[in-house]
Homo-oligomer: A and B are copies of this chain.
Amino acid sequence: MSSGTPVFLAACRGEPVPYTPIWIMRQAGRYLPEYRAVRAKVSFEALTRTPELAAEVTLQPLRRFALDAAILFSDIMTPLQGMGIELTFEPGPVVREPIRTRAAIEALRPLAPEQDVPFVLETIRLIRAAAPRNVPLIGFAGAPFTLFCYLVGGRPSKEFEAARAFLYSDPQAAVRLLDHLADAMAAYLGAQAAAGAQALMLFESWGGLLAPPQFEHFALAAARRTLSALRSRGVPLIYYLNQGSALHERLAALEADVIGVDWRSPLGTVRRVLGAGKAVQGNLDPAALFAAPEVLEREAERVLREAGGQPGHIFNLGHGIWPHTDPDAVARLVDIVHERSARGEPGA
């Protein structure tokens, strides 16, 4: 680790670190009473569009816990609103006119981040000015196929039938839409890096709904298009894939520094499949935060042990933290991860 490089950034690059860094997906969120206090006064959408408030809730978990990274508070659908797509949060995103025709796809305009989502970039600048120097800020976007699921489906769904059927019924049009989204997210994340984001993450929440050939042809090709465009930014790139157990071998060649892993795939298996060139991030079951302290400790140690230690592991949950989680369990988890990994004896 270069002197002065934050532990999280060094771990993303596979450099040696003194302990395993940890942050928590959705760490700024409803499980925190101070977050709920802000939300009592303002809608979710207004919160994502008001830089002072979005920066405040981003910083809230850093005051409570010794987390090693911050992540921008926003929503994956926010840049699509900037592109002229009308949607509401009920609380999941509902698109007023789902996109299912070639005409609707061709009518989409590119994203111009400084004009379309200036409040996101301002939020990033505010966070950077206020966050501790050793806690880097992660910018993020939805992966193209995950956005595609909402745009085509129109609303959250267990199976995203409409989006998955569209891949088969009009594959050329599907690729057009995915390419469009990939380019928009590359512009969006590039602007986030220019505004100060020190790592960039793509959330592929629904790519794991696809069989491997469709995943590779549609979701992964689009994610690759986004990530390739960002390589020159010089910041670590993270690709989180939910339900990826059958898909990790396809990620070995992806231009990401870090693969985020859901709670179902043992990290040792994933690291073997990915090879030495990539770090992994994850993957405690969010449900484990409801366990008795000694069980939580055992489960956290299991994740550290399966990851095989450093270099190349960033601790996280395997999915976003649940709203009913006790914040004290998060505090315990952060301590366990830091202490055990610093001793270099995970699971001992």
Chain B, residue nearest A296 (CB): B168
As a 0/1 sequence over residues 166 to 206 of chain A, the CB contacts with chain B under 8 angstroms (1 = contact) are 11110000000000000000000000000000000000000
Interface set, chain A 55-86, CB cutoff 8 A to B = none
Contact pick for A245, options B159, B161, B246, B290, CB 8 Å: B246
State the CA gap A250–B295 with chains docked (Å): 22
Chain B, residue nearest A168 (CB): B291
Chain B, residue nearest A212 (CB): B266
- Taking CB atoms, residues of chain B closer than 8 Å to A119 are none
Contact at A208–B264, with CB atoms within 8 Å? yes
State the CA gap A112–B285 with chains docked (Å): 37
| Number of copies of this chain that the complex holds | 2
Q: Tell me whether A265 is interfacial, beta carbon within 8 Å.
A: yes
Q: Tell me whether A164 is interfacial, beta carbon within 8 Å.
A: yes
State the CA gap A214–B264 with chains docked (Å): 10
- Taking CB atoms, residues of chain B closer than 8 Å to A167 are 287
As a 0/1 sequence over residues 265 to 309 of chain A, the CB contacts with chain B under 8 angstroms (1 = contact) are 110010000000000000001111011100100000010000000
Contact at A290–B165, with CB atoms within 8 Å? yes
Q: Tell me whether A243 is interfacial, beta carbon within 8 Å.
A: yes
Q: Tell me whether A324 is interfacial, beta carbon within 8 Å.
A: yes
Contact at B168–A290, with CB atoms within 8 Å? yes
Contact at B158–A158, with CB atoms within 8 Å? yes
- Taking CB atoms, residues of chain B closer than 8 Å to A318 are 211
Give the size of the chain A interface in residues (CB under 8 angstroms): 39
Chain B, residue nearest A325 (CB): B165
Shortest C-beta distance, A61 to chain B (Å), equals: 20
Chain B, residue nearest A319 (CB): B159
Chain B, residue nearest A269 (CB): B246
As a 0/1 sequence over residues 150 to 166 of chain A, the CB contacts with chain B under 8 angstroms (1 = contact) are 00000010110100111
Q: Tell me whether A239 is interfacial, beta carbon within 8 Å.
A: no
Q: Tell me whether A210 is interfacial, beta carbon within 8 Å.
A: yes
User: Given known contacts A211-B263, A211-B264, is B245 in contact with A285 (CB within 8 Å)?
Assistant: no
Q: Which of A213, A245, A266 has the most CB of B within 10 A?
A: A245
Interface set, chain A 98-129, CB cutoff 8 A to B = none
- Taking CB atoms, residues of chain B closer than 8 Å to A295 are 168
Contact at B246–A161, with CB atoms within 8 Å? no
User: Given known contacts A245-B245, A265-B246, is B161 in contact with A285 (CB within 8 Å)?
Assistant: no
Contact pick for A287, options B168, B246, B263, CB 8 Å: B168
- Taking CB atoms, residues of chain B closer than 8 Å to A168 are 285, 287-288, 290-291, 295
Chain B, residue nearest A303 (CB): B211
Q: Tell me whether A44 is interfacial, beta carbon within 8 Å.
A: no
- Taking CB atoms, residues of chain B closer than 8 Å to A158 are 156, 158
State the CA gap A28–B167 with chains docked (Å): 26
Contact at B322–A211, with CB atoms within 8 Å? no
State the CA gap A288–B167 with chains docked (Å): 9
**Cβ contacts A to B, 16 pairs, < 8 Å:** A159-B319, A161-B286, A161-B287, A164-B287, A165-B324, A167-B287, A168-B291, A168-B295, A169-B290, A169-B292, A210-B264, A211-B285, A212-B264, A214-B285, A243-B264, A246-B269
Give residues in A with beta carbon < 8 Å to B. 156, 158-159, 161, 164-169, 208-214, 243, 245-247, 263-266, 269, 285-288, 290-292, 295, 302, 318-319, 322, 324
